Amino acid sequence: MNMKKIFKAALSLPVLMLISCESMDIKPNSQGNSETWYSTEQELQMAANRFYTIGYWNSPYQDTEQWTDNFTYRTTNRHPDNGAPLSGTLNGEDYIVYHMWEQAYKLIAQANLLLTHSGRAKANGVSEDVVNRYRAEAYFARACKYAELISYFGDVPYVDKPLTISESEVLKRMPKDQLIPKVYDDFDHAIDSLPVSYDKLKRFTKGAAMAMKARFALYMGDWKTAAEAAEACIGLDIYDLDSSYEHLFLQTTKENPEKILFFPRSVALGVTLDVWFVNNQLPRLVGGYGASNPSWDLLASYLCTDGLPIDESELFDPKDPFKNRDPRCSMTIVPFGSEHVGYLYEPNSPIAHRANGEAAGNNPDCRFSADPNAVHCSYNGLLWKKGIDDSWLLPSGQKNPDNETDFVMMRYADVLLMYAEAKIELGEADQEILDETINKVRARAYGNGTYPRVLASDQKTMRKALRIERRMEFANENLRYMDLIRWRLSSTFENSQVDKYDPLNSPNYIFPETAELEDIVTGGRWFWDDVVPDIDENGIPDLSPLETAGLAQPGARRVFPKRQILWPIPTHDGLLNPALGQNDGYTGENTGTVVEDDETNS
């Protein structure tokens, strides 16, 4: 094997990042170093500030909607640079695997250093309350990253202090059932010492620790702990739903009573939304790519305004699929013919129109337009609307690369629905709980007016309502993948909960060929003619009748093999430390290619 690659891998091995640096301290005495750092309140704050680097929490390679049935990218169901989880090809060499593992252990290392050395500040006269608050931030960061690692990789190495090189070289993975209590303990330490709120600062809070503990417990199927943690967060009585679902996600919406854990972006600080992401979300009419799109699966999953799925409701019109739907449908996906960033979005019109109806030349967002760029537009005619408004454009009407949209990791609606789910699974849900959780979230979407109320019934019926509600509420918020995994909604699970249609092993449907699409439009069959997809008990649609009717064709197929229930241990870590072992199904597949180190700030 190439020794240069091995040496380079050793330098970037996340486990080795956890070693003590005291024997390698070559900083001048006039600067902070490992012998004296963490001795003042300012040093504790500077060290804790590292926990808020957005790249530790969100990046184009971490837990995205791209790995789910909510998403399409051109003819595929995922972007080619980030699509291994749904192509069935995930292995230990994939950058998304390495990136998640590496960023988690980087942050864990930062937390361990503060926890190990913070006693210096206390000995130097810093108050115990201040020291404990920064320690609580470290506990919170460490708990969140171990929660993530366990959810994706299962058994992982547990490190709670700096290690020597020799110790790191033989580090083994700890069984998941031993790791879970340690994560709970870290969350509890954070809950004990974090403040409920800050006057102006945006730092970790008690409520964030309670909510993230509830999410981890939910992912682990620990309904009792999830219910208790979510209830404690609700009991703080400082969070509330934003009055407008649509308003909540705009980049102009900053601090907000619904945002519990979020990471602000700022042009002034040079931290903005990735330009690639902005381009992919915007239509081609304003200089975007229109390439990352909601799936037809997602469009079909929204309930009608009578509270029924589209295959049961008399209100659904497949030729006008946004009519009479849950309001979140048209707040998440751009309705046909509606105004969007200065133009009417008309994927069925070869001529573009401005918001006032004025013609604006050939339409690059219509596949059969004469515009030469139309060949690259949305392959299924759908665009994301959630969080996107005119502020994404420059005064010239073209895309604005400087986007300050906050990354929201936890909001109050999630706490309410987590509490509802835990209570449903415990068999303790009643009408009062449903009204204060699912129905409260749904009422907000309808503007707190008349809405289809979820009624207490048997566990199976309430479970279906909860799962559909989560999909409608959290589309494009990076929660769908883990929901599918923990609900066992794939036939690859031995205890699969798939009813009829497997969302992780199914075609990604797109428009038929261009000439056929034009015939559909001119023949009055737009959008789905008279075809209504069937919806199963999990809220999953069967879109195959659209193909039979000539209204769609399958793009790439989603493929989710059994081995991907857990992700592989990164190859180069396993090569340097064979004691780590490998998860089932991945042994022998990896060749040890080393990827470049990266800490993204997008």
pLDDT at 30: 39
pLDDT at 78: 65
CATH number of domain containing 195: 1.25.40.390
Answer whether residue 28 shows pLDDT above 70.
Answer: no
Residue 228 lies in a domain: yes
Residue carrying structure tokens 């290619």:
593
Residue 292 DSSP symbol: E
- Does 172 reside within a domain? yes
Of all residues in the chain, what percent carry a pLDDT higher than 70? 90
Residue 223, pLDDT > 50, answer yes
pLDDT per residue as tens digits for the range 568-584? 999 989 998 999 999 99
Would residue 405 count as lying in a domain?
Answer: no
pLDDT of residue 137: 98
Q: Is the pLDDT of residue 589 over 80?
A: no
In a domain, 569, yes or no: yes
Domain enclosing residue 149, as ranges: 3-23+34-68+84-241+564-580
Number of domains forming the structure of the chain: 1
Could you tell me the end-to-end alpha-carbon distance of the chain, in angstroms, rounded to an integer? 34
- Amino acid residing at 295: S
Across 10-14, 314-318, 388-392, least confident range = 10-14
Residue 21: per-residue pLDDT: 37
Region 291-311 average pLDDT: 97
Residue 253: other Cβ atoms inside 10 A: 18
Q: Are 225 and 217 in contact (CB under 8 A)?
A: yes
Distance (Å) of CA 108 to CA 8, 42, 143, 146, 263: 21, 21, 9, 8, 18
**Residue 597 within a domain:** no
Both tokens of 251, joined, read: 């980049």
Q: CA neighbours within 13 Å on the CB side: how many for 282?
A: 26
In a domain, 379, yes or no: no
Q: Could you tell me if 495 and 515 are in contact, meaning their C-beta atoms sit under 8 angstroms apart?
A: no
Angle at 130 between CA 127 and CA 135, to 5 degrees: 125
163: β partners: 19
Q: Would you state the structure tokens that stand for residue 126, as one six-digit string?
A: 């810093």
- The amino acid present at 138, given as its one-letter code, is A
For residue 199, tell me if it sits in a domain: yes
Residue 269 belongs to some domain of the structure: no
pLDDT, average across residues 222-247: 97
Question: What distance in Å separates the CA atoms of residue 442 and residue 464, rounded to the nearest whole number?
Answer: 15
Q: How far apart are CA 308 and CA 535, in angstroms?
A: 10
pLDDT value at residue 192: 98
Return the closest-CA partner of residue 217 out of 478, 461, 482. 482
Which residues is 384 bridged to in the sheet? Answer: 333
Q: Which residue has better confidence, 34 or 598?
A: 34
